[in-house]
Amino acid sequence: MGNWWPDLRERRLVGELMDDPALPAAELDRALRGLERLNRVSASWRVFTPVLREMCEQSQGPIHVLDVASGGGDNVAALMQWASKQRLPIAFHACDMNPAMVARSLAAMRRIDSKTPESASFVCDIVRGGLANVYDIVINSLFLHHLSRDEGAAALAAMHKAASRALVVSDLARSRWNWAQVLIASRVLTGSRVVRIDAMRSIEAAWTKDELKALAVQAGIASGSERVVHPARMVLSVFKAEAARDRRGVA
């Protein structure tokens, strides 16, 4: 396919620099700020808002939402700010396998709501340990492309089990057009060497929509729907039986 375009017919999973525990703290901090800028410009958190609003409208009281693999917490913090402005009764929670990211998420959440309890952000290895509690909605962003097929299926199965009403997963979609978008955005919006390298590794490790569907089936999820969204993303949405009936009633 030439020297410019990589061969994207098969996904290529390579370890990302930010996952290296030996990465200097200053470089990690700069990379996380770069990622926050990319997420802020793309407003990627907005893919979750329709489901959150709909579930709030159907509920008598507050709903509980868990952001799995929350990273630095910018995603859950943006959703908290949105929910506050919309006056929606949502209790947000976040988890990550990295204790340093858990602390960052909690700090980000407390910048939006200073009363956020410490227990709202906690350590969890979703692939190997699953989740102890059940939440109304489980969401996840930019995580599946870090995983092998079996790990991805295990993560989806664990998240699906922990979601009583809905599971919404957003990740990169592998394609030549999306590769070009990621290349440009990562160079225009951040000067972080780590982000620029990891961004391209991420798109090469991303799944296609058909691969995501197969991954969901492997996880035991037969009722999910997959759709491509802008920019360079796709979304898997799964509604449990009770929530699906509620949605038909609202419609």
pLDDT of residue 60: 86
pLDDT in tens, 24-43: 989 988 998 898 888 888 88
Complete domains list, the chain, with CATH? 46-172+208-250 (3.40.50.150)
Mean pLDDT confidence for 35-54: 91
pLDDT of residue 41: 85
Question: Which pTM does this prediction carry?
Answer: 0.91
What percentage of the chain has pLDDT greater than the value 90?
78
pLDDT of residue 245: 44
Rounded CA gap, 5 and 140, in Å? 29
Residue 27 CB partners (closer than 8 Å, separation 6+): 192, 193, 194
Angle of CA points 66, 161, 244, to nearest 5°: 85
Rounded CA gap, 162 and 157, in Å? 9
Beta strand pairing status for 225-229 and 233-239? Answer: antiparallel
Residue 231 CB partners (closer than 8 Å, separation 6+): 42, 44, 178, 181, 185
> How far lies 39's CA from each of 33, 45, 74, 210, in Å?
10, 8, 8, 25
Q: In what order do the strands lie in the sheet with 63-68?
A: 121-123, 90-96, 63-68, 135-141, 163-172, 233-239, 225-229
pLDDT in tens, 134-182: 999 999 999 999 999 999 999 999 999 999 999 999 999 999 999 999 9
